Structure 1
Amino acid sequence: MTATLTVVGLGSGNPDRLTLGIVKRLQSASAVYVRTADHPAMSALQELGIASQSFDKLYESLSSFPEVYEAITERLLEATRTASEGTEIVYAVPGHPMVAESAVSKLRERCPEAGIALTILGGESFLDEAFVRLGFDPIEGFQLLDASGIRSHQLQPELHTLIGQVYDGFTASETKLCLMEMYPPEYEVVVGHALGVEGEERILRVPLYELDRLDGYGNLSLVYIPASREEASRRRTFARLHEIVGILRSPEGCPWDREQTHESLRKNLIEETYEVLETIDEDDPDHMREELGDLLLQIMLHAQMEEELGTFNVYDVIEGLNDKLIFRHPHVFGDMSAGNAKEALQNWEGMKAEEKRRKGLQPEAESALSGVPRDLPALMKAYKLQKKASKVGFDWDNAVDVLAKIREEADELQEAIESGAPADEQALELGDLLFAAANLSRFIGADPEEALTRTNRKFVSRFHYIEERLRSRGSRPENSSLEEMELLWQEAKAQERGE
């Protein structure tokens, strides 16, 4: 029979709150270890003559909290393994052993593997004091977060939120920055130091932006963010967006939104996509933010329609996307590697094919051209079709050969026009010429859609120059000769070149 290991809680800080059972366990132990000697309850242990060893030096010698907790776990396991049979090792921690004690969680996992009997005796948690001293009922909705690992996506303004382990000013600053992603700078928060400890307790109410300007942060400090049911606090949450879209589509919502179908909103989805692209071209972040919201609304509406039918909801969409991103990035979330973008793309394509196999499909039996959306803009679709064909060797050898093909197609178009061929035949020849031009783009490393967009933009800029110059002369394009406009066109080109 080996020694046993018992973990006890020293309570929130008031020595008078130590339970009689825990005191007896400490007095009878063959060895007592404490996570830190910097705790108010340690004075009671000293008065009772209970000797202990702290792990404070580990915090000084190791560079991160995970390393500290791993070291504490190893030392306690070793101490228990080497102790005399039938004796008891006690490990005392601040507060309750099961609240914000990583080493205790590790012991619960590893003691059974090591054949060590582990007992955990609860003490008063800092939560008990927080509920009383800060005056809120957790049944209204409550979450407890760790300042060292807090993330903005965890925040839920409609819940009472306690953030523990705010050890110092730096941690308070990091906490503030995270909170300000969800709450306004003026939102009132509460800082509590040594709650329930006579002579040491301090409770301060400050606007959020002042959180890291306070002194006195330490082992017994926490931050409390009161729950808010106000609309302003929920505006930045995805859950609120989902709720609003559901209301708009409800019988009590907007008549126009209720009438929409996938088909009626199809054109809106396309238009909003192109409006986002326009903001990218304009390099206008403020406008982009607005247009991305409009595009997101279209996605939310389509997902809401399916939610009403019971097929799926937007959270199913998010889950599917998360799964896909993780699966197709084995070089990030798995054991594969990718040293550059080309290797990463190869991994993506490989995992994409594996997804199809898992669905019972045979990617090897599919056409090399499969996967190109039917309704893509024609120029973009031509580019993607040619790119897929090139992967299986159906391609020109070089750009010179493609240029020769473009000249050939131009000659055929000219012949069709000069011979008076039917309009449909001329259109087909024009399509061949455009298709060949799109093919050339791959050989010179240009996207044909982007190249034509730049040319369109250039044309608009130059034509606006012509209109402005003519307007300054009291004229308009329709009242001017082609020669006059051509001269202004050349002026615009010269200005672009800085001449």
Structure 2
Amino acid sequence: MIKIVGLGPGSNEDLTLKSINVMKNANNLYLRTYKHPNVEYIKSLGINFTTFDDLYEEGESFDEVYETIADKIVNLKDVVYAVPGHPLVAEKSVQLIIEKAEKQNIEVEIVPALSFIDAVINAMKADPVEGLKIIDGLQLDTQVPDTRVGNIITQVYSRLVASEIKLKLMEYYDDDVEVYLIRAAGVEGEEKIERMPLYEIDRVSWVDYLTSLYIPPVKSKSKYDFKDLLDVMEKLRGEDGCPWDREQTHESLKRYLIEEAYEVIDAIDKDDMDNLCEELGDVLLQIVFHSQIAKEFGEFSISEVITGITDKMIKRHPHVFGEDVCKNSDEVLKNWEERKREEKNLKTYTEALKSIPSSLPALMRSYKVQEKAAEVGFDWDKVEDAVNKIYEELKELLEVYKTNENGKIIEEMGDLLFAVVNVARFLDINPEFALTKTAEKFITRFEYIEKTAIKNGIKMEEMTLEEMDMLWNEAKNQ
């Protein structure tokens, strides 16, 4: 049997009688580390033990050290293993031992003790029922703090680590938010508690392996998270919310989603990252807005939106999350389209063409239609053939133009534009972006004409086309 004993937060008065007796009667007693206030007391009782401190010097990471410890303990089978605090609180090696022992049908007994969490709660006079989150300071990339409740950050064992923790926490908290740095909580004569702004936690000299950080719930914020945005939207749509927001529907919001998406594109084109950040927020607001409306009518929730897209990304990237292999981007895109057809149950290529939303901008939709048709070989062999099609369609447009048949003219104009899009596709040019750039170029050159006219004291309305065309050519050479 493997017995795992907790050594408590650090005071020998917190050691249970059972813990001491188990260690006294152990044939093989191993301590994860000598660096704990109660170790000297255990030694004074004449209890012999071995520690794993040497592994910390040899291992490349904590995960590697804990794996090695777990393997050694499980291989010994009949052993007592003692760890700081409570064995089941923030002890990765214990979790690994339990998992490995279960696979080998080895019984594990946990001998509980006070955890450092109990000591910190007591020191802070904090009620965990009001909300408390325990976070491994070395895992802040995956363990996210919740500013609405108290957070205890563990593993603040050096100033370097404190600095790294500080920088990550500043993504969620203001730099000067009030925090408590706590060392040896509950250990008489050694306990230290110091209140300070977050930005100072790596400037304290006494930070060591017994140090934790407590961050109280934040009452007033200048940094918000996703839940805050959801709460704001729910309030705006609530009984005492905003009349305009409460009136909105999926239909009425359509125009705003389109506008915000185009403003994102504009920010990207201008390489304006501050504006891009703002505009992405506006797009996110639209997503949250629609999700709140849907939630109110029992249609879907934001959680379903997030689950849906996450599941889709995982399924469509089997070369990342599964065992498929893709050698290049072309193979990735091919697999993506295949899985997309499977998910949407598109049995024919015509169904795939019809699935392209008619609400897309016409140039973009035409491009996508041609792409899908090309997948089955319905395409020109070379770009020259596509260019010749433009001449053919232009000729037909000019012919029908003379008839004054408006319906025919519209049809032939559409054919001409479709042919132009085809050439753009062959040249790997997005026609939407190309036309946008041309429109911007037109505005810039037109601006030159107007400014020159004003400079010369001439009204544009009074200029001849030849005069404006001359200035246009000047603008082209600018």
Normalising TM by the smaller chain, what interval? Answer: over 0.9
Higher mean Cα deviation, 252-261 or 60-69? 252-261
Give how far 1:215 is off: 2.2
1:40 aligned to 2:23?
Answer: no
Q: What pairs with 1:62-81 in structure 2 (closer than 5 Å)?
A: 62-80=59-77
- Once the two structures are overlaid, the 10-residue window that deviates more, 55-64 or 165-174, is 165-174
Q: How far did residue 368 of structure 1 move?
A: 4.4
1:459 maps to which residue?
442
1:211 is aligned to 201
Judge which range, 323-332 or 93-102, deviates more.
323-332
2:396 corresponds, among 412, 415, 427, to: 412
SS at structure 2 position matched to 1:367: helix
1:343 aligns with 2:331: yes
After TM superposition, the structure 1 = structure 2 runs for residues 396-475 of structure 1, keeping only pairs within 5 Å, are 396-417=380-401, 419-475=402-458
**Displacement of 1:143:** 0.5
SS of the residue corresponding to residue 144 of structure 1 reads: strand
Equivalent residues in 2 for 1:89-104 (5 A)? 89-104=79-94
Which sits farther off after the overlay, 221-230 or 155-164? Answer: 221-230
Match of 2:47 in 1: 50
Does the C-alpha gap of structure 1 residues 158 and 396 become closer, same or farther in structure 2, counting only changes over 3 Å? same
Separation (CA, whole Å) in 1 of partners of 2:73 and 2:447: 78
CA contact (8 A) 1:69 1:103 kept: yes
Q: What's the offset of the Cα at 1:16?
A: 2.3
TM-score by length of 2: 0.96
The unaligned stretches of length 5 or more in structure 1 are 81-87
Secondary structure of the 2:110 match is strand
Q: Deviations over 1:443-499 (max 9, x none)?
A: 11111111111111111111111111111112232221212211211121111xxxx
Matches within 5 A, 1:364-379: 364=348, 367-379=351-363
> Within 5 Å, which residues of 2 pair with 1:31-430?
31-80=28-77, 88-151=78-141, 154-230=144-220, 232=221, 235-356=223-344, 361=345, 363-364=347-348, 367-417=351-401, 419-430=402-413
Mean CA deviation greater in 340-349 or 371-380: 340-349
Return 184-193 or 196-205, whichever deviates more.
196-205
Deviation string, structure 1 residues 62-114 (Cα, Å, up to 9, x no partner): 1011111110011111122xxxxxxx521010111001111111121221322
Asked if structure 2 preserves the Cα contact closer than 8 Å seen for 1:247 and 1:253, the reply is: yes
- Alpha-carbon shift at residue 339 of structure 1 (Å): 3.0
More displaced stretch, 57-66 vs 266-275: 266-275
Question: TM-score normalised to the size of structure 1?
Answer: 0.92
- Aligned-residue Cα RMSD (Å) equals 1.6
Alignment-mate amino acid for residue 171 of structure 1 = V
Residue 177 of structure 1 deviates from its aligned partner by 1.3
CA contact (8 A) 1:389 1:395 kept: yes
| Percent identity between the two aligned chains | 45
* Alpha-carbon distance in 2 for matches of 1:347, 1:430: 36
> What secondary structure sits across from 1:192 in the alignment?
strand
User: Judging changes above 3 Å, is the alpha-carbon distance between structure 1 residues 431 and 141 closer, same or farther for their aligned structure 2 residues?
Assistant: same
May I ask how many residue pairs the two structures share in their alignment?
A: 478
Structure 2, gaps ≥5 residues long? none
Q: Report if aligned partners of 1:152, 1:178 keep a CA contact under 8 Å in 2.
A: no
- Give the Cα separation in 2 of the matches to 1:53 and 1:435: 79
- What is the letter of the counterpart of residue 408 of structure 2? E
